[in-house]
Homo-oligomer: A and B are copies of this chain.
């Protein structure tokens, strides 16, 4: 019989609490919870390999199969990436397949040319009420606002396609500045995890069609009133804590937002 991995065996846990929602949790889920906590605590850096299944099994005093099932779920959650023969690695926003995991914009002609970035500004300020609410900040707490354009090369000319307005909790992103953003090569989310240890795990988006106002129209080089796709994104890190509010305006004349329904 395996020793208990946490402070209570699954059966003791089941018998012990009689009122909470998850009154019982199978062993592999307890292992998963422990592993998630290790990820959260930064025990293993993004891109790094976690210990092998056998080692984890020994550490937790459970069978390899139980560890395997925990890791399976975490891989399905995009927290880990398995590579046969090599090991299991902490997921990153840097890898080829997941490079722009959260960007669903595609050119209508299917060309996968990466978009150019143009930073408009990056400022620290008190979070506006709406932002504070979304990010669960106190009234008047600091926030960072980033505004930028993404541009596509169309017929030789750079055309703006996306206007992003990003809000981050100031407390988590001390030292983030326009200069650091400018000098960073690679996806923004990669920078967040590498430089600020903030990992975007999951996001919820709300899409709607809106008419361009004068400012948006000027930025995106469209006529005022032109239809734009508004994408409001709330991104979460471990423990479903919201850590980014982003509002994107997409000019969808030659691009579209693709989605897969399963």
Q: Is A86 engaged at the interface, CB distance under 8 Å to the other chain?
A: no
Checking B76, B78, B211, B261 against A102 with a beta-carbon cut-off of 8 angstroms, the contacting residue is B261
Q: Which residue of B lies closest to A250 (CB)?
A: B209
Chain B residues, CB < 8 A from A252 = 207-210
Expressed in whole angstroms, the Cα–Cα distance for A204 and B226 within the complex equals 26
Asked whether A256 and B77 contact (CB < 8 A) given A101-B261, A202-B261, A229-B229, the answer is no
Report yes or no: A206 in contact with B261, Cβ–Cβ below 8 A: no
The 9 closest A-B pairs by CB, nearest first: A208-B252, A227-B227, A209-B227, A209-B209, A207-B257, A203-B261, A209-B229, A206-B256, A205-B259
Q: Is A260 engaged at the interface, CB distance under 8 Å to the other chain?
A: yes
Task: Return 8 A-B CB contacts under 8 Å, by A number.
Answer: A77-B262, A104-B259, A202-B262, A203-B260, A205-B259, A205-B260, A206-B258, A209-B252
User: Contact mask A88-114 → B, CB, 8 Å, 1/0?
Assistant: 000000000000011010100000000
Report yes or no: B207 in contact with A210, Cβ–Cβ below 8 A: no
Report yes or no: B225 in contact with A225, Cβ–Cβ below 8 A: yes
Q: Which residue of B lies closest to A77 (CB)?
A: B262
How many copies make up the complex? Answer: 2
Chain B residues, CB < 8 A from A258 = 204-207
Asked whether A259 and B204 contact (CB < 8 A) given A209-B209, A209-B210, A250-B209, the answer is yes
Q: Is A146 engaged at the interface, CB distance under 8 Å to the other chain?
A: no
Query: How many A residues touch B, CB cutoff 8 Å?
Result: 34
Expressed in whole angstroms, the Cα–Cα distance for A211 and B262 within the complex equals 29
Asked whether A261 and B204 contact (CB < 8 A) given A228-B227, A229-B229, the answer is yes
Report yes or no: B204 in contact with A228, Cβ–Cβ below 8 A: no
Q: How far is the CB of A107 from chain B (nearest CB, A)?
A: 11
Q: Which residue of B lies closest to A255 (CB)?
A: B208
Report yes or no: B203 in contact with A228, Cβ–Cβ below 8 A: no
A104-B259, A229-B229 are known; give 20 further A-B pairs, CB within 8 A: A78-B262, A101-B261, A203-B260, A205-B260, A205-B261, A206-B256, A207-B207, A207-B257, A207-B259, A208-B255, A208-B256, A208-B257, A209-B230, A209-B250, A210-B252, A211-B227, A225-B225, A227-B227, A227-B228, A233-B261
Task: Report which residue of A209, A226, A227 has the largest number of chain B beta carbons within 10 angstroms of its beta carbon.
Answer: A209
Chain B residues, CB < 8 A from A211 = 226-227
Report yes or no: B227 in contact with A257, Cβ–Cβ below 8 A: no
Chain B residues, CB < 8 A from A210 = 209, 227, 252
